[in-house]
Homo-oligomer: A and B are copies of this chain.
Amino acid sequence: MRTISADISDILAHYQTQVNERLEAFFDKKIKEASRISNYTQEVAVNAKEYTLRGGKRLRPIFCIYGYKCLSDNNLEAIIEASISLELMQSYLLIHDDIMDEDELRRGKPTFHIVCKAMCERHFGTNKALEFGENIAIVVGDLLEAYGEELLVNSQFKSEYVKKAVAKYAEIIKNVGYGQILDIIAERKGRITEDEILTIHKLKTASYTIEGPLHIGALLAGAREGDLQVLSNYGVPLGLAFQIQDDILGLFGSEEKTGKPVGSDIREGKKTLLILHALERCKGEEKEILLKALGSQHVTTEEIDTIRDIVRKTGSFDYSKKLVREMTDKAVQAIKDSDFRSEAKDFLINIADFIGKREY
């Protein structure tokens, strides 16, 4: 076990470096492009580079690279280059998300609209600076989407393959959009069912973090319908496992490892599967504590401890852990049964294991 996990960390670290180097080079070209228009567009592009490069596990590009490796090993340079389109998409979606959620921190630093708010204050004063920041951030999200599309469509594969990959790219954005609408509405309704949560996870996390990137990589290697189906059988359950594990880490993980304050989902009033399951199974005082804490900015460490107890006592912790295990097993089985290249199979099996057990 130790070796496998060491291996996977090495592989991840290797491709993280590769992806980051290419992202850096890509943004440097864009900064040049933007500088030809004006100092301000240049400044915005510099900010977009900092934002994209300030962190992240680069899981999406890596899944894209291994989607390609399932079928081919011929043009690694080109697939790594193409894979960064997924990180551009990620920045684009995070920027728009943070505006909608009015979040001020992302990866430990100001969210993009807050960065642009500061830009406004520096150049033009504080009047309506937040509005300025949000408006620039909407446009920069749109710009990054176009950057990603441009990069992908110009990738060095057969035109026929590229066409299919771009269609998939648009499909992912569509899925995330539909999922986001459901998310916004669920928040307003104040109630949500387990089925609805799973639908949102499927549309947002599974499609966009694992299945979609795998498909794009595979399509660039000339994948057929059957290949895509196998990758869906792997990517959808693993995507769900990834999200549920995220929810578990949000409450039980260590702030040091996750980089997120423990209990931030609770403070945001997010009804994760973990919390919903507990809510449906507790009553009296415990239910009151849980409901009171959800969405409250003033939740104490003691209250978080109590909530952890409730989540354990109601069996929600075990239930979620079991779901993660079952989904991960399902994903692994789909890959084992496939006839993909063995290097890719090994990686996909190991990363599934890694995701199921990850602590960050």
By a CB distance below 8 angstroms, the chain B residues around A162 are 159, 163
B146 touches A174 (CB 8 A): yes
* Nearest B residue to A147, CB-CB: B174
Q: How far is the CA of A171 from the CA of B153 in the complex (A)?
A: 11
A99 lies within 8 A of chain B by Cβ: yes
Which of these binds chain B: A130-138, A221-229, A273-281?
A130-138
A170 lies within 8 A of chain B by Cβ: yes
Which of these binds chain B: A16-24, A184-192, A295-303?
A184-192
A138 touches B99 (CB 8 A): yes
A93 to chain B minimum Cβ distance, whole angstroms, is: 8
By a CB distance below 8 angstroms, the chain B residues around A10 are none
Contact indicator per residue, chain A 170-195, by CB within 8 Å of chain B (1) or not (0): 11011001101110110011000000
A59 lies within 8 A of chain B by Cβ: no
Tallying the copies of this chain within the complex gives 2
B143 touches A166 (CB 8 A): no
A265 lies within 8 A of chain B by Cβ: no
Cβ-neighbour of A177 out of B40, B143, B181 (below 8 A) = B143
Cβ-neighbour of A139 out of B34, B40, B181 (below 8 A) = B181
B170 touches A153 (CB 8 A): yes
By a CB distance below 8 angstroms, the chain B residues around A171 are 146, 150
A199 lies within 8 A of chain B by Cβ: yes
Q: How far is the CA of A41 from the CA of B158 in the complex (A)?
A: 35
By a CB distance below 8 angstroms, the chain B residues around A173 are 142-143, 145-146, 149
By a CB distance below 8 angstroms, the chain B residues around A184 are 132, 135-136, 139
By a CB distance below 8 angstroms, the chain B residues around A203 are 37
Q: How far is the CA of A146 from the CA of B169 in the complex (A)?
A: 8
B143 touches A145 (CB 8 A): no
Q: How far is the CA of A41 from the CA of B184 in the complex (A)?
A: 11
Given contacts A132-B184, A135-B184, A159-B160, contact A177 B146 (CB under 8 A): yes
Q: How far is the CA of A138 from the CA of B173 in the complex (A)?
A: 13
A166 touches B140 (CB 8 A): no
A96 lies within 8 A of chain B by Cβ: yes
Q: How far is the CA of A141 from the CA of B166 in the complex (A)?
A: 18
A180 touches B146 (CB 8 A): no
* Nearest B residue to A124, CB-CB: B188
A139 touches B189 (CB 8 A): no
By a CB distance below 8 angstroms, the chain B residues around A154 are 167
Cβ-neighbour of A100 out of B38, B123, B138, B150 (below 8 A) = B138
Given contact pairs A138-B138, A146-B173, enumerate 6 new A-B contacts (beta carbons under 8 Å).
Answer: A40-B185, A123-B188, A135-B184, A139-B184, A149-B173, A159-B163
Please list the residues of chain A having a beta carbon within 8 angstroms of any beta carbon in chain B: 34, 37-38, 40-41, 44, 96, 99-100, 120, 123-124, 132, 135-136, 138-143, 145-147, 149-150, 153-154, 158-160, 162-163, 166-167, 169-171, 173-174, 177-178, 180-182, 184-185, 188-189, 199, 203
Between A and B, 8 residue pairs with Cβ closer than 8 Å are A40-B185, A96-B142, A124-B189, A139-B180, A142-B177, A149-B166, A150-B174, A162-B163
